[in-house]
Chain A
Amino acid sequence: MTGETLPAARRRTRAARRWGRHFDSTALPWLLLLPALLVILGLVAYPIIETFWLSFHAGADLTTGPFVGLSQYRSLASDPDFRAALLRTIYFCVFNVVATMVVGLLVALVLDALKSRGRLLGVIVLLPWAMPRVASGIVWKWMFDAQYGTVNWALNAIGLHHFSGYAWFNSGFSSLVVISAAWIWQSVPFIAIAMLAGLRSNPPEIIEAAQVDGARYWRLVLRVRLPMLRPLMVVLLVMSTIWAFQAFDYFFVMTVPPGGPDHSTEVLSLLTWLNAFSLLQQGKAAAIAVITFLILAVVTVVYVRSFREATE
């Protein structure tokens, strides 16, 4: 379509619209972005700054309180409950992220091996992700019930009689085992499906070439296919680390009282919330939140850095 073949009237309107287009290309995009920017500035950026601000104050009973500098952080450093919770969060996070990535990869490989027959299985795999965590937390607790739970029954049936009537929620460690099981159950789906999409994007020629060279299945997966997915793996690692580090729902729902028995399942997210809204220690809670934020920021940067170095 060239200018000569257009009717004159059309050419005129087109010229007249040029000014409108100028407006469209300068003001309109900002108009379209405005609501999103308002949310990001007002409901994300400002709150982060406010959390830092509050952590330098002795806020209690929902008032900001006087400025106390870093004393919240100093008292946290010598607080054994906080240190235990920090370590517990890190252990929980490392164990669950590793388990989720490994299980997610295995599930993705199964789905990949099934080719198009795996479509229904793909839906089944994703169901746990959609289930509300409050509901799945309750169901998992029920399955691990000491007397009537299916897990103790099954363990007993395969000869582990030690577990007959075993009360999982009587100790911190065994509670964390159950919470981890539920957490992995609900976070594997997304990781697995994302990895599947990555595996499917492997160029078939390279896989075939490796097969011609006689590469065995696992060698092919570990040496050829996974290295091609490194960018995706880093993203998934960062995402699952952040999810695990701020896991809240399962802890809140499954342990009684939240963080119990005797503070033995308290993690940083729970500690933040309990301090802020149950103990009304706003300043302390803000300081814990800031520490969570900084740890995750450092972890994200380290991941991305190491990924960049590895690809260079």
Chain B
Amino acid sequence: MTLLTGRARKLRRAPLWLAVTIICVVCLFPFFWMLLTSLKPDSDIFTATPKFFTTSPELSRYSSLWSTGFPRNFLNSLIVAVGTTVVGTVIAATAGYALARFRVPMRRYLLIVVLMVQMIPQVVLVIPLFIIIRSAGLLSSYPGLILCYLPLTISLGIWMMRSFFLSIPPEMEEAAMVDGASRLGAFYRVALPLAWPGLSASAIYAFITSWNELMFALTIMQNSAMQTLPVALNEFFATYYNNWGGVMAASVIFSAPVIGFFLLVQRRLVQGMVVGAIKG
């Protein structure tokens, strides 16, 4: 058997490393190209043969973005994303705990309903949610957009939190309750800290989803001062579509926080999401 796999492996090795190279190039090139274009002087951007390096990087595009509405859009995005993350994670943690630890009637159906929420196409929600938010007087407000983002994020969050709570032995909470903690206290002081990986995974998922979202942001944030980054970047792109350097600099600023966040917690996030998908 070892002989066989040894031979098979040798035969497979060359295509394998070729595949690894292709995957790396395809995955990373758009990032590299975005960053490089944002730093190249215009004379290096508009060349018939692309230049894959630059000898005179310039940061002026980044500093000139500072004087536009971009910092405000950045702040809007941050507030909405953090708001969604906090509210969504609290909802996901409490519901996930209830579904993991209690014999709730119809628990099976509740779990299926939660899963179905993940499957609902967003275009079905966008018109009525717009009407709801408008009649609540929350158009162009942070809470209005955060409300729209909750349905998009809590479903996977609940599943992730539930599976993490299930993996924690209930004896630990029981021990805390024997020592005088209430059920809620045991949840808050014992289970929640132990489920920290799941908590951070569902938090990051909520952050990335709400940071990147375009359709609801476009619909709800009608006042340009309240626009989030996806909408502002798209508008910037539509207005200055020939200013590729500037557009790329804006794209870098837009992508950087979410990519950084992702790199910080990627392993946990992936575990959580995959568990959600497999169990689903």
Tell me the A residues contacting B by CB distance below 8 Å. Answer: 13-14, 17, 20-21, 24-25, 28-30, 32-33, 35-37, 39-40, 43-44, 46-48, 50-51, 54, 62, 106-107, 110, 113-114, 121-128, 130-136, 138-140, 142-143, 145, 147-148, 150, 153, 185, 189-190, 193-194, 197-198, 201, 208, 211-212, 214, 216-217, 231-232, 235-236, 238-239, 242, 245-246, 248-249, 252-253, 256, 268-269, 272-273, 276-277, 282, 285-286, 288-290, 292-293, 296, 300
Contacts and interface: CB of A to CB of B under 8 A. Distances in A.
A292 B251 contact: no
Given A127-B262, A253-B237, A107 B94 contact: no
B37 A29 contact: no
A249 B214 contact: yes
Q: A interface, by DSSP: helix, strand, loop or mixed? A: helix
A131 B255 contact: yes
Contacts of A252: 214-215, 218, 234
B173 to A, nearest CB: 11
Given A48-B125, A134-B234, 5 more contacts: A127-B28, A135-B34, A138-B248, A148-B45, A252-B234
Contact of A134 (B20, B120, B254, B262): B254
Interface string B239-265: 001001001100110110011011100
B104 A33 contact: yes
A128 B150 CA distance: 23
6 contacts: A131-B30, A139-B30, A142-B33, A153-B48, A201-B278, A272-B127
B19 A110 contact: yes
Interface stretch (B54-62, B128-136, B193-201): B128-136
Contact of B16 (A110, A126, A189, A293): A110
A132 B127 contact: no
B104 A29 contact: yes
B36 to A, nearest CB: 10
B97 interface: yes
B102 A28 contact: yes
B95 A36 contact: yes
A32 B1 contact: no
Contacts of A48: 120, 124-125, 128
Nearest to B247: A138
A24 B102 CA distance: 9
B90 interface: yes
Contacts of B97: 32
B119 A300 contact: yes
A118 B260 CA distance: 20
B26 interface: yes
Contact of B251 (A135, A150, A189, A197): A135
Contacts of B244: 142, 145, 148
Interface string B219-238: 10000000001100110011
Contacts of B251: 134-135, 138-139
A261 to B, nearest CB: 15
A153 B212 CA distance: 30
B12 interface: yes
Given A36-B94, A134-B230, A208-B1, A273 B126 contact: yes
A249 B241 CA distance: 17
Nearest to B222: A277
Among A40, A128, A256, residue most surrounded by chain B Cβ atoms (within 10 Å): A40
Contacts of A256: 238, 241
B98 A238 contact: no
Nearest to B127: A276
A50 B128 contact: yes
The 5 lowest CB-CB distance pairs between A and B, nearest first, are: A36-B95, A47-B128, A29-B102, A50-B128, A24-B183
Interface in B4-33: 4-5, 8, 12, 16, 19-20, 23-24, 26-31, 33
Contacts of A24: 182-184
Contacts of B187: 32
Contacts of B233: 134-135, 138
B123 A125 contact: no
A150 B50 contact: yes
Contacts of A140: 30
A232 B277 contact: yes
B167 interface: no
Contacts of A239: 119, 277
B262 A130 contact: yes
B16 to A, nearest CB: 6
Given A54-B128, A150-B33, A194-B274, A289 B91 contact: no
B104 A30 contact: yes
A20 B258 contact: no
B172 to A, nearest CB: 15
A21 B90 CA distance: 23
A218 to B, nearest CB: 11
Contacts of A201: 278
Given A208-B1, A273-B126, A126 B270 contact: yes
Contacts of B132: 43, 46-47
Nearest to A272: B123
B237 A20 contact: no
A231 B279 CA distance: 9
